[in-house]
Structure formats: structure tokens, C-alpha cells
């Protein structure tokens, strides 16, 4: 018998089909008569479309449809700002914007037809530098100016608090854009069926948000669209609601009476993918001599590129999330989001948290040194704790941040490594750390952060879970199956999770804001409890005893005294085959007791908050400027870990993604054009570039979470950059404040130090 | 476009097919033979998602043409298991967190199979080096390295 379905490392329930190569991703799907689509992209950062001549493309044999901005619905789509047409109309605002599309019998014909489309552009001056965006006289990206959003937050008495501070430190940090880099480039298969409904199989983190967006962009009723989620090859935020290719593919399907597949090449995916929001952060902080943070002033300039998408929400996170990690009361923050004629930026794992985490943790390390304190002690001193309410009214439930700090400092040998004598020489080592928090769930998406599970228990006693929450590789389906099994009392192997499908799944928001484990998991607990009660009541009727005396364990119903027993299958059949019987089909819904922000960004938006700390050791080659990660220890406070294998996998993956952002990945532009839009030149770390990843879990218990769990994964990407920057400083005394940390910056920093020492 | 008849041994079976001269081997496998376990991740030979074994050696199928497969013996991820019995690497990847989204997995399994055919007890550095032609964005590689090490130990009975 299984002891417990949770808490033990277990393979994902869909791992077998994946290792067999039989999991089906959107680009693997094929329907009879399927056509292929290809996209023509703008070569200019800013230009007026004077004319588009598609006649030669249309005339090519095998071409079924050619579309331009003139053919798409007038209605504009967008998250908050309704700014985009399905294909560019009138003006292009970034290099790579989709100007035309071809549907043809083969991908090769579609490619060939793209070359036959003649677009005449009138080039306009582009605005490429966000720092100039608000200057007078610069090119305007949209009517109404280049300022997309501005938020201002004022708490306490900042000026008085600074006046009373013993130490004030101010610094400006810059962070760059990161490509989500999911290994599956965006792919979509769409068709209008004989009944006139639009069926869309797409690589998405949310089928319901995808459907809503399609309804808006294609200007058709929501219920005329069905979105089905195939296996998803990673998302990392880039496949929520900002990518454009699924919208274009679905639109193209409405032009022809055959299915259309649009699978992006890697270059296409990079040009149209959603990179993270780059932000410049000026941070000023005041502390008393003992390290208590008394005041903070923040000024952020973030660049959303040509269209706002989710970038405004991302910037809000950059602006205020990390404030809640500490017991600070006096804060003044201004954050501005501006447009440029560059690719749209938006949601990415951590949702803006990584940008500020880099600034805050770099700052903490610097100020700790100025005060002669250990930075870990500084974190500990200021850390918020369980039961406390933060400056923005977040109610902290479980919080194991101090334990995370203990765990990483012990694992890396912090005290010893920090106090070792600095060796000279070419290769120099240093250690650094950082701490971070993230939400588990977020009510700011709308006035609902709920989740619903429909649970069916078949006549053989096995369960099918219907959910609209998506598994993009992170293991959500396995988590649901484990909670279902544990709560209902059946083996995990007896649970199937049906792929999200807007026709068959209950409405759910989908995978974002680390909300699925906590909210989907709670709905799962409720549904499984309901099913169990239904089953035990039926069993009591059949066995002639009280339901309270019965338990369902490992697929068998038993009374406490052992007098009554029945296999689950027998009871499930009995539930149907009797007068007035029916199959077992129950529902569990859970909407956490959270609130939306008020007009002043106050309010407890999430049912729980997750914390993490990371300590790293680096080696800096002072001749080449190369930084090598020698060791990393990441400790995650995710409440009860439903599946430790999944949590470690998420933490390790996040840590390497953070390492990539910090050291290796950098988008290069030339005149607004991405010049390294391929995986050879946009370098994501490979196995030989990273050391053994140590992931650790501090097990707490989250009272608002399912079986004590809260979200994991996003928190883990937050501390990496600052931990590395702090370790570099420890190694060579060079403080890098603008990411990424490149060999050039290291060498320049060393040269500056040398100059200063000679002066 | 000229077409060619090719014959090859694919996952243990002899097959013949007619292919356009310019068709990539990866596209031939995926689109013509419906063996979609072989993935497209970059089509420029960088990510390794399209890796297959050609005459027992790992090769990126997006870098060669289908016609070049003529007379060769090819194993794709679909050919690793023996019926219902998983290849020792497949079982180890499941057990040790060698995959999450699974998109890179076929390529890593093939690269690892190639490694273990040459080196039955690789250390971690050798494993990492052998897998350095593949990219995984989900796992941070630790689960993959653990899985390959465990598979090697399993094969060696240690
Ligand atoms: S698709 Fe062949 S190496 Fe990436
Ligand atoms: S498991 Fe997703 S890319 Fe490797």
C-alpha cells in the first residue's frame, strides 16, 4: 500500500509519454488537409506602410491565402492597452512586427510566397533608447505619448526617516531583457470546422485567457472558439497572453476552409517572442547603525517596447513586491513604463521580481559592508515574519526566510569562506548571497483568483481530473494527481488529468503568478473531499453502516472495525446502477480570501507568499574577465513540497536561467534590429557551463495552501543575479551594477580599481 | 525539385521512401514518417532537440538531408524502448527528474545513449561534456546528469 501520495519524489504522471517521444506538442499535430503558414516581418523599427502588393504571392501555385493588415479585424487587442491588430496596419513599430502572412500547401511554398510580397515603407525616425523616451521632440510610438504607465507610492514619512538614518546609500542598477528560451518555439494548429467553430491547438499557459484574447482579436463570440492545450514545451511567462503567433494562426484559419499550422522557427520566435522587461532602477536606502532599514526611495524606468502587454503589471511587481519582504515603513517609489520602437516585452518567470531583486540585494550587500555587518544578518534583521502585515498590507502566512538563510549559509560554509584571506593571483574566488520573495497566487488579474476542478470517478474507481490550469512542463498535472490521490484515497496511478480544453474544462485563469499549486490544489482538495463523501455515503447505503465509520484507503472502503469492506469499483458501480443512480461527477472550487489592490497599491493580493535564498561561490579570471559559477545552494520555502523532485527541478532550472541572465544571455540590437536572434549567439547555458546545482527545501506549512503547500519555482529565479554580483564583488572588489556581468565590464572594473590604487 | 529513393534501417526496420533532394532529415522523420519524437528547436545545429543516432553515433538531424541517410542505420527516440520495456536511460530520466516539459528529452536521451555506448562509467564532467550539444531550459541539467549517472550505474550493476 502507498504510504502517502505527497511528499515523496515522483516522476511526472506524463513523464513516460515524454521519454518515449510520444507526447504531442502543437507542432507535432497534423489534421487532414492541413496547410502551412509563414509570416513576413517588418525590416524597420519605425515606418509607415505605404503599400503592400501581394498579387505575385497570391498567384503562386499552392498559395491558399495571403493576408495583410488590411484584411484583419478593425478591433484592436491588448491586455490593458488595446493597441495591436492581428497584422500591422498603417505603421510598423518594431523590427520583426508581422506585416503579412501566407497560407500554402507546403511550408516551402509559403516561404517562397513571402519573397514575392512587395511592401513599400516610408521609414520614420525610431525611438530606441528608453532613457530618451520622455524627452521633448522624440518620435512617438503611440498617439498620446511615450509614457505607457506611471505609478507612485508613498508610505510613511520618507524624508524624516532619511534624516534620521545613520547611513544612506544610493545607486543606479540596470537590468536587461531576457528571452524565456522555452525549447519549444511557439506553434499553433487552427481550423474552422464544418459547424463554423474555430478550434485552436496552441502552446499556451492558459486556454481560457487564450480564448478570450482570440475572441477579442478576431472579433468573434467567445463560445465560437475552442482552445485545446497540447503538451507544452516550456513557457516561463512567454506563453501567457502576449505572443502574437497564435492569434495570427487562428485568424488565418478563418480565411481558408482547411486547417492551418503555424510553427515558428527559432529566429521567428525570438523576433516575436516576449522578452522580459528591462528596467533601470535608482535605489536609495537609509539604515540605522544596527542595519535596520528605515527608508527607501526608488525610481524605475522600464521599457515595454512597442506594445504594453503585461509590462505594466510586471513593472508594478518590480516597484513594490520586494518591499513586502522586509519590515520597512517609509517608502517612496516612482515607476514609469515607456514605449520604444523595439520588440514588446512583458511577462517572464518572476514577473518583474528579478529586476528589483538584483538592485535590492546588491544594495544590501554594499550597505552591510559599509556598516561592518554580515549581509545575512542584515537580511535576518529586516526580514518580515509569519503573522506580520507588510507595508503594502500583505498578510504574511508561513515564512521560512530565516531558515532559508541558515540553510544556504551553512551549506556553502559562509562564515569560513567570507573570512578567508583574499588571495591574489589570476583566479580569485568569492561568495555572495541574496534573498527574495514571490507571491503564490495574485488577485490583481481580475477580481477572482479562483480555480475549479471537475472530478469524475469512473465505474472502476479510477479518477479523471478536469482543469483549465495548465501544465507547461512544471508538473501541475502531477501535483493535482497527487493531491487527488492523497485526499480521495486511491493510488496516484489511478488518476488521469485531462488536457485543458475550453469546451470541457472548468473555467480557470491558468499558469501564472505561481497560482496553480495553491489555488488549483485547493480546488482539488475540495473536489476530492466531495467525491470521497459521495462515495462513502453510497458505500454506507450499500453496506448498511454509517458513512462516518468508513474510510477509503488505497482504493478500498473499510469500516474502522473491519466488519465492512468493499472495493471502490464496486461502490462506484453501485452509485450508478440503482434507482436514481448516476456516475460520480463532482466539483470543487476555491477562490482565496484575497483582495485586489486599492487605488494606492495596498491590499493582500495573494493567499500566501513564498521565499527563497541563494548563496553562490564564483571564480573570476582576472586576466580574461570570465566569471565561473563554482557552487550554488538555493533554498526554497514552498510550504509542504507536494513533489520534492518537481521542486528541485524547478529550483535548479530557475537557478540556471538566472545564471544565464547574469552572465551569458544578452540581446544585441543594431538600429532596433536583433542581431543575435539564434541560439548560437544568444547563449543559454549548456550542461558543461554549470556546476552541480544544489537545491534545498525548507519545509514549512502554509495554512492557506493545499495540504500545506504554496508556490515554488518563480521565487527561485529571483536571487541568482545579485548573489553572483555580490560574489564577484567579494572576489575582486568590483561592483557590477548593470547586467549582464560580462568579461569586458569585469576587466574595466579591475582597471578602474588599479587606477584608483595608483592615484 | 528532384526526388530520390532512399532505403535505410530505421529503429530496426528497413524502410524505403521517396524524398525531395532538399528535405532535411529532421523534416523527413517528423513530417513524412510521423516520427515526431525528434524535435525542432533551432534548426541550426545548436540545441540538440533533433538528435538521432546514425550508425550508432549521435547526429543532429536538422543538419543533414534525408538523402544522406540512404544506406544508414538510424535510431530515433521512438526506437529506444523495446516494446513496453523502457530503455534504462528512459527509466532513469523519469526517476531522477531528467525532464520537465520534455521537449529537449528525446535529444538528451539520444546524446546520453551515444555517451554510454562509448563510455560505460562516465563521471559527471564527462556526462556534462557529452551533453553540451543539447540545451534544456527547464531542469538546470542536474536531473539529467543524475539520470545518466544512475543509468550507467544500473547498466554496470553498481
Ligand atoms: S533543431 Fe537540430 S540542433 Fe536544434
Ligand atoms: S525539459 Fe523542458 S527543455 Fe528540457
Q: Which of A590, A609, A630 is the last residue of a domain?
A: A590
User: What ligand is nearest to the CA atom of residue B59?
Assistant: 1
pLDDT in tens, A447-479: 999 999 999 999 999 999 999 999 999 999 999
CA distances from A118 to A51, A95, A223, A340, A674 (A): 8, 17, 37, 26, 22
Answer whether B111 touches A (CB < 8 Å).
no
Q: Do both A720 and A662 map to the same domain?
A: yes
Give the distance from residue A74's alpha carbon to the nearest chain B alpha carbon, in angstroms.
34
Q: How would you classify the pairing of strands A275-276 and A345-346?
A: parallel
Contacting residues for B2 by C-beta, under 8 A, at least 6 apart: B20, B21
For B128, the closest of A15, A263, A687 (CB atoms) is A687
Query: Which has the closest alpha carbon to A320: A402, A391, A395?
Result: A391
- State ipTM: 0.98
Which chain B positions have a beta carbon within 8 Å of A649's beta carbon?
Answer: 97, 100, 138-140, 142-143
Does residue A461 sit within a domain? yes
Weakest mean pLDDT among A172-176, A249-253, A711-715, B89-93: A711-715
pLDDT in the model for residue A573: 98
pLDDT in tens, A650-673: 999 999 999 999 999 999 999 999
Does residue A19 sit within a domain? no
Does residue A62 sit within a domain? yes
Q: Look at chain A and report how many structural domains it folds into.
A: 3
Ligand 1 atom at minimum distance from B46 CA = 3
Q: Of chain B residues 50-89, which have a CB less than 8 A from chain A?
A: 76-78, 80-81, 86
For B102, the closest of A23, A30, A263 (CB atoms) is A23
Answer whether A11 touches B (CB < 8 Å).
yes
- Could you please report the per-residue DSSP string of A475-515? -HHHHHHHHHHHHHTS-GGGEEEEPPBTTTSPP---S-TT-
Q: Do both A562 and A604 map to the same domain?
A: no
Asked if A679 and B124 come within 8 Å (Cβ–Cβ), the reply is no
Grid coordinates in use for A403? 531558515
Q: Do both A573 and A620 map to the same domain?
A: no
Answer whether A185 touches B (CB < 8 Å).
yes
Answer whether A678 touches B (CB < 8 Å).
yes
If you measure from the C-alpha of residue A346 to the centroid of ligand 1, how many angstroms do you get, rounded to a whole number? Answer: 27
Name the packing angle between helices A720-732 and A743-758 (round to 10°).
Answer: 40
Answer whether B37 touches A (CB < 8 Å).
yes
Q: Is the pLDDT of residue A634 over 70?
A: yes
Q: Do both A615 and A740 map to the same domain?
A: yes
Asked if B143 and A648 come within 8 Å (Cβ–Cβ), the reply is yes
The DSSP symbol for A444 reads G
Note whether A516 and A439 are within 8 A (CB): no
Q: Do both A543 and A605 map to the same domain?
A: no
Does residue A52 sit within a domain? yes
Q: Do both A694 and A613 map to the same domain?
A: yes
Q: Is the pLDDT of residue A88 over 50?
A: yes
If you measure from the C-alpha of residue B51 to the centroid of ligand 2, how many angstroms do you get, rounded to a whole number? Answer: 14
Answer whether B92 touches A (CB < 8 Å).
no
Answer whether A28 touches B (CB < 8 Å).
yes
Does residue A158 sit within a domain? no
Do you find a cis peptide bond into A740, omega within 30 degrees of 0? yes
Distance, in Å, from the CA atom of A722 to the CA atom of A633, rounded to the nearest integer, reads 14
Grid coordinates in use for A343? 520588440
Q: Is the pLDDT of residue A146 over 90?
A: yes
| Mean pLDDT value across chain A | 97
Q: Of chain B residues 116-155, which have a CB less than 8 A from chain A?
A: 124-125, 127-129, 131-145
Distance, in Å, from the CA atom of A475 to the CA atom of A71, rounded to the nearest integer, reads 40
- Domain harbouring A569, CATH code: 3.30.365.10
Q: Do both A340 and A436 map to the same domain?
A: yes
Nearest CA in chain A to B23: A108
Give the distance from residue A91's alpha carbon to the nearest chain B alpha carbon, in angstroms.
30
pLDDT in the model for residue A137: 96
Answer whether B28 touches A (CB < 8 Å).
no
Tell which of A11, A15, A21 to mutate to test the B interface (max B CBs under 10 Å): A21
Does residue A18 sit within a domain? no
Mean pLDDT of A697-708: 95
Which chain A positions have a beta carbon within 8 Å of B91's beta carbon?
Answer: 19
In a 10 Å sphere around its CB, with 0-12 CB exposed, 13-18 middle and 19+ buried, how is residue B157 labelled? exposed
Q: Do both A639 and A579 map to the same domain?
A: no
pLDDT in the model for residue A3: 64
Q: Which residues pair with A621 in a beta bridge?
A: A427
Which chain B positions have a beta carbon within 8 Å of A695's beta carbon?
Answer: 142
Q: Do both A352 and A403 map to the same domain?
A: yes
Does residue A221 sit within a domain? yes
H or E segment at A24?
A: none
Asked if A686 and B144 come within 8 Å (Cβ–Cβ), the reply is no
pLDDT in tens, A322-344: 999 999 999 999 999 999 999 99
**What percentage of chain A has pLDDT greater than the value 70?**
100
pLDDT in tens, A265-312: 999 999 987 899 999 999 999 999 999 999 999 999 999 999 999 999
Distance, in Å, from the CA atom of B94 to the CA atom of A444, rounded to the nearest integer, reads 36
Asked if A266 and B35 come within 8 Å (Cβ–Cβ), the reply is no
**pTM for the model:** 0.97
Name the packing angle between helices B105-118 and B88-95 (round to 10°).
Answer: 120
> Residue of the nearest CA to atom 4 in ligand 2?
B136
Contacting residues for A714 by C-beta, under 8 A, at least 6 apart: A349, A350, A351, A353, A438, A514, A610, A654
Answer whether A32 touches B (CB < 8 Å).
no
Ligand 1 atom at minimum distance from B61 CA = 2
pLDDT in the model for residue A1: 41
**Residue of B46, B52, B65 best suited for mutating to test ligand 1, as the one with most atoms within 8 Å of CB:** B46
Say how many CB pairs under 8 Å bridge A and B: 185
Q: How sure is the predictor about A215, in pLDDT bands with cuts at 50, 70 and 90?
A: very high
> Residue of the nearest CA to atom 2 in ligand 2?
B101
Task: Give helix then strand counts, H and E, for chain A.
Answer: 18, 30
pLDDT in the model for residue B24: 96
Q: How would you classify the pairing of strands A584-590 and A147-155?
A: unpaired
Give me the domains of chain B, ranges plus CATH numbers.
3-78 (3.10.20.30), 88-156 (1.10.150.120)
Q: Which of A214, A248, A272 is the last residue of a domain?
A: A272
Range of the domain at A194: 26-124+183-234+239-272
Note whether A717 and A651 are within 8 A (CB): no
pLDDT in the model for residue A274: 87
The DSSP symbol for A70 reads T
> Residue of the nearest CA to atom 3 in ligand 1?
B45
Which residues does a 6 A CB cutoff place in the pocket of ligand 2?
A 183, 234, 473; B 99-105, 136-139
pLDDT in the model for residue B158: 77
Q: Is the pLDDT of residue A102 over 50?
A: yes
Grid coordinates in use for A634? 538555493
Q: Do both A499 and A603 map to the same domain?
A: no
Cα first-last separation, chain A: 74
Ligand 2 atom at minimum distance from B108 CA = 4
Note whether A693 and A511 are within 8 A (CB): no
Which chain B positions have a beta carbon within 8 Å of A652's beta carbon?
Answer: 139-143
Grid coordinates in use for A134? 520622455
Give the distance from residue B64's alpha carbon to the nearest chain A alpha carbon, in angstroms.
17
pLDDT in tens, A370-411: 999 999 999 999 999 999 999 999 999 999 999 999 999 999
If you measure from the C-alpha of residue A713 to the centroid of ligand 1, how many angstroms do you get, rounded to a whole number? Answer: 27
For B101, the closest of A21, A185, A234 (CB atoms) is A234
User: What ligand is nearest to the CA atom of residue B29?
Assistant: 1
- Domain harbouring A33, CATH code: 3.90.1170.50
Grid coordinates in use for A483? 493531491
For A19, the closest of B38, B105, B143 (CB atoms) is B105
Answer whether A16 touches B (CB < 8 Å).
yes
For A265, the closest of B43, B136, B138 (CB atoms) is B43
Q: Do both A749 and A695 map to the same domain?
A: yes
Q: Is the pLDDT of residue A2 over 50?
A: no
Phi, psi of A337 (to 5 degrees): -110, 125
Asked if A684 and B78 come within 8 Å (Cβ–Cβ), the reply is no
If you measure from the C-alpha of residue B61 to the centroid of ligand 1, how many angstroms do you get, rounded to a whole number? Answer: 7
Give the distance from residue B45's alpha carbon to the nearest chain A alpha carbon, in angstroms.
9
If you measure from the C-alpha of residue B46 to the centroid of ligand 1, how many angstroms do you get, rounded to a whole number? Answer: 5
If you measure from the C-alpha of residue A241 to the centroid of ligand 2, how many angstroms do you get, rounded to a whole number? Answer: 21
Q: Do both A401 and A315 map to the same domain?
A: yes
Asked if B37 and A11 come within 8 Å (Cβ–Cβ), the reply is no
Does residue A628 sit within a domain? yes
Q: Is the pLDDT of residue A77 over 80?
A: yes
Amino acid at each position: 500500500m502507498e504510504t502517502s501520495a505527497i511528499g515523496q519524489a515522483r516522476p511526472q504522471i506524463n513523464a513516460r509519454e515524454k521519454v518515449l517521444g510520444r507526447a504531442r506538442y502543437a507542432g507535432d499535430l497534423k489534421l487532414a488537409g492541413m496547410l502551412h503558414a509563414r509570416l513576413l516581418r517588418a525590416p524597420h523599427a519605425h515606418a509607415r506602410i505605404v503599400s503592400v502588393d501581394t498579387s505575385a504571392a497570391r498567384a503562386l501555385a499552392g498559395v491558399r491565402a495571403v493576408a495583410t493588415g488590411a484584411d484583419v479585424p478593425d478591433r484592436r487587442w491588448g491586455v490593458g492597452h488595446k493597441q495591436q491588430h492581428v497584422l500591422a496596419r498603417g505603421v510598423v513599430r518594431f523590427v520583426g512586427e508581422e506585416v503579412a502572412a501566407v497560407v500554402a500547401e507546403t511550408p516551402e511554398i509559403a516561404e517562397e510566397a513571402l519573397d514575392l510580397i512587395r511592401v513599400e515603407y516610408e521609414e520614420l525616425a525610431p525611438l530606441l533608447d528608453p532613457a530618451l523616451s520622455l524627452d521633448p521632440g522624440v518620435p512617438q510610438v503611440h498617439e498620446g505619448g511615450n509614457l505607457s504607465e506611471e505609478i507612485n507610492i508613498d508610505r510613511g514619512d520618507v524624508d524624516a526617516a532619511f534624516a534620521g538614518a545613520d547611513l544612506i546609500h544610493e545607486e543606479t542598477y540596470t537590468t536587461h531583457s531576457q528571452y524565456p528560451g522555452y525549447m519549444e518555439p511557439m506553434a499553433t494548429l487552427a481550423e474552422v470546422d464544418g459547424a463554423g467553430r474555430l478550434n485552436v491547438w496552441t502552446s499556451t499557459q492558459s486556454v481560457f485567457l487564450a480564448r478570450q484574447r482570440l475572441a477579442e482579436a478576431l472579433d468573434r463570440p467567445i463560445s465560437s472558439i475552442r482552445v485545446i492545450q497540447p503538451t507544452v514545451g516550456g513557457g516561463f511567462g512567454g506563453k501567457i497572453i502576449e505572443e502574437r503567433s497564435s492569434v495570427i494562426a487562428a485568424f488565418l484559419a478563418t480565411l481558408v476552409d482547411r486547417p492551418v499550422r503555424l510553427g515558428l522557427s527559432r529566429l521567428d520566435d525570438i523576433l516575436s517572442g516576449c522578452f522580459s522587461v528591462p528596467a533601470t532602477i535608482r535605489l536609495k536606502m537609509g539604515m540605522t547603525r544596527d542595519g535596520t532599514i528605515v527608508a527607501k526611495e526608488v525610481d524605475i524606468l522600464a521599457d515595454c517596447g512597442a506594445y504594453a502587454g503585461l509590462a505594466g503589471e510586471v513593472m508594478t511587481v518590480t516597484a513594490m513586491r520586494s518591499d513586502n519582504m522586509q519590515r520597512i515603513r517609509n517608502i517612496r517609489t516612482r515607476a514609469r513604463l515607456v514605449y520604444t520602437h523595439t520588440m514588446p516585452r512583458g511577462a517572464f518567470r518572476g514577473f518583474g521580481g528579478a529586476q528589483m531583486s538584483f538592485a535590492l540585494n546588491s544594495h544590501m550587500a554594499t550597505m552591510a559592508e559599509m556598516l561592518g555587518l554580515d549581509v545575512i544578518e542584515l537580511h535576518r534583521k529586516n526580514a518580515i515574519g509569519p503573522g506580520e502585515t507588510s507595508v503594502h498590507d500583505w498578510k504574511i502566512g508561513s515564512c521560512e526566510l530565516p531558515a532559508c538563510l541558515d540553510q544556504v549559509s551553512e551549506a556553502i560554509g559562509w562564515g569560513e569562506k567570507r573570512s578567508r584571506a583574499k588571495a591574489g593571483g589570476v583566479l580569485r574566488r568569492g561568495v555572495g548571497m541574496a534573498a527574495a520573495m514571490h507571491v503564490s497566487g495574485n488577485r490583481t488579474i481580475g477580481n477572482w483568483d479562483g480555480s475549479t476542478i471537475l472530478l469524475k470517478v469512473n465505474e472502476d474507481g479510477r479518477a479523471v481530473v478536469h482543469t483549465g490550469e495548465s501544465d507547461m512542463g512544471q508538473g501541475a498535472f502531477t501535483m493535482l494527481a497527487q493531491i487527488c490521490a492523497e485526499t480521495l484515497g486511491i493510488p496516484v496511478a489511478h488518476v488521469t488529468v485531462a488536457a485543458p480544453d475550453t469546451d470541457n474544462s472548468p473555467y480557470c485563469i491558468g499558469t501564472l503568478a505561481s497560482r496553480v499549486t495553491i489555488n488549483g490544489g485547493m480546488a482539488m482538495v475540495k473536489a476530492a473531499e466531495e467525491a470521497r463523501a459521495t462515495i462513502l455515503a453510497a458505500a454506507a447505503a450499500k453496506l448498511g453502516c454509517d458513512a462516518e465509520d468508513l474510510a477509503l484507503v488505497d482504493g478500498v472502503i473499510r469500516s474502522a472495525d473491519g466488519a465492512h469492506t468493499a472495493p471502490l469499483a464496486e461502490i462506484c458501480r453501485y452509485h450508478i446502477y440503482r434507482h436514481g443512480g448516476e456516475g460520480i461527477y463532482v466539483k470543487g472550487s476555491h477562490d482565496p480570501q484575497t483582495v485586489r489592490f486599492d487605488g494606492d497599491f495596498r491590499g493582500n493580493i495573494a493567499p500566501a507568499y513564498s521565499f527563497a535564498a541563494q548563496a553562490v561561490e564564483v571564480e573570476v579570471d582576472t586576466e580574461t574577465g570570465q566569471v565561473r559559477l563554482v557552487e550554488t545552494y538555493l533554498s526554497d520555502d514552498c510550504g509542504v513540497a507536494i513533489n520534492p523532485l518537481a521542486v528541485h527541478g524547478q529550483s535548479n532550472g530557475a537557478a540556471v536561467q538566472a545564471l544565464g541572465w547574469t552572465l551569458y544571455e544578452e540581446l544585441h540590437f543594431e538600429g532596433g534590429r536583433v542581431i543575435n536572434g539564434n541560439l548560437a549567439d544568444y547563449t543559454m547555458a549548456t550542461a558543461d557551463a554549470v556546476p552541480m546545482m544544489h537545491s534545498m527545501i525548507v519545509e514549512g506549512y502554509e495554512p492557506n495552501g493545499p495540504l500545506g503547500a504554496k508556490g515554488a519555482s518563480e521565487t527561485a529565479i529571483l536571487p541568482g543575479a545579485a548573489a553572483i554580483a555580490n560574489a564577484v564583488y567579494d572576489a575582486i572588489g568590483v561592483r557590477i551594477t548593470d547586467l549582464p556581468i560580462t568579461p569586458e565590464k569585469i576587466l574595466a572594473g579591475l582597471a578602474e580599481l588599479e587606477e584608483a590604487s595608483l592615484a | 525539385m528532384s526526388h530520390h529513393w532512399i532505403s535505410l534501417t530505421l529503429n530496426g526496420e528497413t524502410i524505403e521512401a521517396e524524398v525531395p533532394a532538399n528535405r532535411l532529415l529532421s523534416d523527413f522523420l517528423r513530417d513524412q514518417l510521423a516520427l515526431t519524437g525528434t524535435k525542432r528547436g533551432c534548426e541550426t545545429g545548436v540545441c540538440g532537440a533533433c538528435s538521432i543516432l546514425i550508425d550508432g553515433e549521435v547526429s543532429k538531424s536538422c543538419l543533414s538531408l534525408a538523402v544522406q541517410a540512404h544506406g544508414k542505420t538510424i535510431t530515433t527516440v521512438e526506437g529506444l524502448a523495446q516494446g513496453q520495456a523502457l530503455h534504462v536511460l528512459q527509466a532513469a530520466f523519469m526517476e531522477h527528474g531528467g525532464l520537465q516539459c520534455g521537449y529537449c528529452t528525446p535529444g538528451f536521451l539520444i546524446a546520453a545513449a551515444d555517451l554510454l555506448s562509448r563510455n560505460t562509467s562516465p563521471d559527471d564532467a564527462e556526462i556534462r561534456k557529452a551533453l553540451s550539444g543539447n540545451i534544456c531550459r527547464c531542469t538546470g541539467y542536474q536531473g539529467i546528469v543524475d539520470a545518466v549517472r544512475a543509468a550507467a550505474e544500473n547498466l554496470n550493476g553498481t
